[in-house]
Structure 1
Amino acid sequence: MADGETGQGAPGGTAADFAEAVRKLPGDRRRIVAVSGAPGSGKSTFADWLAEELCRDGEGSAAVLPMDGFHFDDLVLNARGHRARKGAPHTFDTGGLAATLARLSADDGCEVAVPVFDRAIEIARAGARIIGPQIRTVVIEGNYLLLDDPAWTPLRRFFDLTAMLDVPEETLRRRLTERWVGFGFSGEALEAKLSGNDLINMRIVLEKSVAPDMWIA
């Protein structure tokens, strides 16, 4: 993957193809694999499947690290006037994420406690997941992991392999609408969630991410 190269300039493949590519990575140290994609692309589902697949076929234990756990708390977002754009690139603690990736990459035999976002309360829970030394592959998933942006670019040095989920915009829009309807939003409130935030973030991911190692259809 070439830093700063945006667009479709990478090979395409299936979920199985990417799992096989992960298996071929050197096994002498912990591997960190990044799964990116626009909001509504199915990153969490894919990352969970990949981790389960790697654990099942004898490739060693794997665990998922969700990028969403690094949301700034609402107290911070409210103070900065950013609450309405929660989920946008500037509403994440990229420094904290980089520090966590550095600890995981060190592979020093210590446990690493990581935060997990609780969608029921829209707040990240600190130390909600433990990644122990037995975890040999960490699958990190999130919208902006491949973003060509000064705050996000430093993260890529930790990634051994990257994937971007390739989902049509029409499908993304439908999934995002269904997500907020499921949370009870409708009318103007629904439109505010979509046009005022989610669809903006979708365009950012689609237009400003560097090419992954593999596009997943």
Structure 2
Amino acid sequence: MTAQTIHLTPQTALARLVPHILEMESQADGRRIAIGMAGGPGTGKSTLAAELVTMLNAVRPGSAALVPMDGFHMKHAKIEAMGATDRKGAPHTFEGAAFVSFLHQLKHANGPVSGPGYSRKIEDTVDDAFTVPADVRVLVVEGNYLLLTEGPWAGVKALLDYAVFVHVPRDIVQARLLKRHGEEGLFTEERNRAHIERNDLPNYDLVETSRDRADVIFEMDVER
């Protein structure tokens, strides 16, 4: 089935998602549901996912939790040992199988479960960065590679009850990424531009090939 494509702003996207997810939760007979927020780097999916969790919890306190894929980056030391620092952030520099296993555990957990996060300030993962409490009924899972069919990533889609793909034009993504890298102040602008061209934009292009596996595609009407 071809994914439905809708043009909308982040605010109208949230207004559309919240009632739909609340209805899904009410029909789930107490089991946890997972909502996937996929899209390339710089598309704003992380912000959208965090705001979605906030809005769901405003309606039903404690019902939703954010589950970021980025915590499953390989440790930086491991990526260095692989000689893959130039491609850090590409699918093969993640612990994809561990991420799939973690999602499966979360969907069936009866108690609190902690998971890793990623810090751009240190460019590395942080263990036990968040905890999903036992009472959570909606997992909002966000990340670039949720809908890929390569390797262990192919196992993610089956664990998602509803998948959203967030699209933002490539030129806007490029400008956003340059600003993001610059704000962290870890590297020169020249290095950041090279990294974006060599790594981030190819990752964006790869992720775009997976968009039709979503249940709905949000073509975001955004400013730079």
Q: Under a length normalisation based on structure 2, what TM-score does the superposition of the two structures give?
A: 0.87
Q: Which residue of 2 aligns with 1:175?
A: 176
**1:56 aligns to what SS in structure 2?**
helix
**1:156 maps onto 2:150 in alignment:** no
State the match for 2:117 in structure 1: 116
Q: Which runs of 5+ in 2 are unaligned?
A: none
Deviates more, 1:14-23 or 1:183-192: 183-192
Contact residue 34 and residue 139 of structure 2 kept, 8 A: yes
- 8 Å CA contact 1:10–1:211 kept in 2: the answer is no
Please tell me the residue identity of whatever aligns with 2:203.
N
Q: CA deviation at 1:42?
A: 0.6
**Which one has the bigger helix percentage?**
2
- The answer to which of 10-19 and 88-97 deviates more is 10-19
Q: 1:55 aligns with which of 54, 57, 62?
A: 57
Residue pairs, 1:59-138, within 5 angstroms: 61-107=63-109, 109-138=110-139
Partner residue of 1:10? Answer: 4
- Is this contact kept in 2: 1:23–1:59, CA < 8 A? no
Cα pair 2:4 2:217 within 8 Å, conserved: yes
The residue aligned with 2:207 is: 205
For residues 128-159 of structure 1, give each alpha carbon's deviation from its aligned partner in whole angstroms, at most 9, with x where no partner exists: 21111111111010011111323211111110
Aligned residues: 210
Percentage of pairs with the same residue = 32
Give the match for residue 195 of structure 2: 193
2:97–2:153 contact (8 Å) kept in structure 1: no
* Inter-partner Cα distance in structure 1 for 2:20 and 2:203: 29
**In structure 1, what is the Cα distance between the partners aligned to 2:122 and 2:175?**
23
Per-residue deviation, residues 12-51 of structure 1 (Å, max 9, x unmatched): 2622212222112123211111101110001111011110
C-alpha contact (below 8 Å) 1:31/1:105 kept by paired residues: yes
> Normalised by the size of structure 1, how large is the TM-score?
0.90
Distance of aligned partners of 1:59 and 1:213 in 2 relative to their CA distance in 1, 3 Å threshold: farther
CA distance in 2, matches of 1:116, 1:205: 21
Which amino acid is 1:215 matched to?
Answer: I
- Deviation of 1:11 (Å): 3.7
1:21-60 mapped onto 2 (5 Å cutoff): 21-25=20-24, 26-28=27-29, 29-58=31-60
Which residue identity does 2:15 align to in structure 1? Answer: A
8 Å Cα contact 2:114-2:129 kept in structure 1:
yes
Q: Is the 8 A contact 1:11 1:213 kept in 2?
A: no
Counterpart Cα distance in 2 of 1:119 and 1:59? 29
C-alpha deviation, 1:209, in angstroms = 4.1
**CA RMSD of superposed structures (Å):** 1.7
Q: Which amino acid aligns with 1:174?
A: A
